[in-house]
Amino acid sequence: MPRSITSAGTERRFLGLLLIVELIVAVLLVGRPDAPPPEPAPVSTPAATAAVSRTQTTSDGRTVELMSLGGPTTQPLLDRVSGAMDDAVRAVTGFWGADWPRDIVVVATASDEQFRALAGGGSDIAAATTARRIIFAPGAASMSDAALRIVLRHELFHYASRADTAADAPRWLTEGVADFVARPAAPRPGAQRAVEIATLPTDADLDTVGPARTLAYDRAWWFTRFVADRYGTQALRRLYEQACGPGHPDAETAVSETLGADLDEVLMAWRRWLSQIA
């Protein structure tokens, strides 16, 4: 797709960046878009560490600042992010609409220490979205192109929707919808695996480490897949706005008002849907 990339020729010291970052984290697999910020951890940073950025314009006219924090892998990672950005913007806009921030900042960190300081995430996290930027962990450099595309779409949705997402929004829906935007469609799992999947995950499920976390995200994703298939993609968007927006009602009320059925009925229909091979 048409793309304009310019070298901004900008260098900023990492500590300067650290002073202005907001730690309002929406971490891939573990975070919320606007959770209360923790105190920044003290960081010992080499004096030579600097942020180098360049600017990209997407095909819909948004400005993307791609910022490297040094090391041998950040620039190649940002090159790949740049190549996938138009696809991610289209995916987010296709679901959310075009009314979201026109300026996007993407930061590639060179060390786990930098990632923890800027995003609060550990080494098992691929990326995070704060109030002002998407931050990639060093490990993201080793991801396949397909996996990186999913991560970028997921985080970009959190970035686009953050102003309309309450801190106490149900995470099974915020993460499920982010994955709905991010992940390609897949065949339904069938009756045997449906038993394992057909329960909405708790926050603790989404925060665990290892295969249980993957399953928790699968469960949230499959629920949003069901809602979009049964009620329509726009109904899923309305459910997000109703259940996750500032001043939102409880999830049961949001589901009932948006989908016209109570949550228990919707969950029963979801379990039947999962069992059907389509």
User: In 124-210, which residue ranges form alpha helices assigned H by DSSP?
Assistant: 145-161, 171-182, 191-197, 203-207
Q: What's the pLDDT score for residue 76?
A: 98
Q: Exposed (0-12), middle (13-18) or buried (19+): which is 209, by Cβ within 10 Å?
A: exposed
Environment class of 123 (CB within 10 Å of its CB; exposed 0-12, middle 13-18, buried 19+): exposed
**Which tens digits make up the pLDDT trace of 68-98?**
999 999 999 999 999 999 999 999 999 999 9
The whole-angstrom distance between residue 214's C-alpha and the CA centroid of its chain comes to 14
Q: Quote the tokens at residue 199.
A: 């329960």
**Residue 146: pLDDT over 80:** yes
Pick from 130, 146, 164: which residue ends a domain? 164
| Contact by Cβ (8 Å): 217, 206 | yes
- Do 30 and 143 belong together in one domain? yes
Q: Is 179 helix (H, G, I), strand (E, B) or coil?
A: helix
Number of domains in the chain: 2
Of 108, 143, 164, the residue at which a domain comes to its end is: 164
Q: Could you read off the pLDDT of 26-68 as tens digits, one per residue?
A: 333 333 333 333 433 433 333 335 689 999 999 999 999 999 9
The answer on 183 and 107 residing in a single domain is no
Does 151 score more than 70 pLDDT?
yes
Residue with token string 């786990």: 112
Q: Are residues 61 and 134 in the same domain?
A: yes
Give the C-alpha separation, 66 to 79, whole Å: 9
Query: Which pLDDT band, with edges at 50, 70 and 90, does 203 fall under?
Result: very high
Work out the average pLDDT over 229-237: 98
| Together in a domain, 51 and 96 | yes
Give the range of the structural domain holding residue 239, as residue numbers without chain letter. Answer: 171-275
pLDDT(197) > 80? yes
Q: Is pLDDT above 80 for 187?
A: yes
Q: Specify whether 188 is located in the same domain as 139.
A: no
Where are any strands of DSSP class E within the chain? 4-13, 26-27, 50-57, 63-68, 103-108, 127-129, 134-136
Last residue in a domain, options 107, 141, 164: 164
Cβ atoms within 10 Å, residue 162: 20
Q: Residue 22: its pLDDT value, please? A: 31
Same domain for 27 and 159, yes or no, is: yes
Band (pLDDT 50/70/90 cuts) for residue 278 is low
Alpha helices in the chain (DSSP H): 14-20, 74-96, 112-119, 145-161, 171-182, 191-197, 203-207, 211-231, 233-244, 251-259, 263-275
pLDDT of residue 122: 80
Global confidence as pTM = 0.83
The string of pLDDT tens digits covering residues 96-137 is 999 999 999 999 999 999 999 999 878 789 999 998 999 999
Same domain membership, residue 152 and residue 225:
no
20: CATH: 3.40.30
Angle at 62 between CA 248 and CA 3, to 5 degrees: 140
- Tokens representing 99 are 């009314």
Whether residue 235 sits in one domain with residue 119: no
First to last CA, the chain: 33
pLDDT number for residue 139? 96
CA 250 to chain centre: 23
| Count of residues in the chain | 278
Shared domain check, 65 and 184: no
pLDDT at 3: 26
Do both 141 and 195 map to the same domain? no
156 plus 64 within the same structural domain: yes
Verify that 114 and 48 share a domain, yes or no: yes
Mean pLDDT, the chain, whole residue set: 85
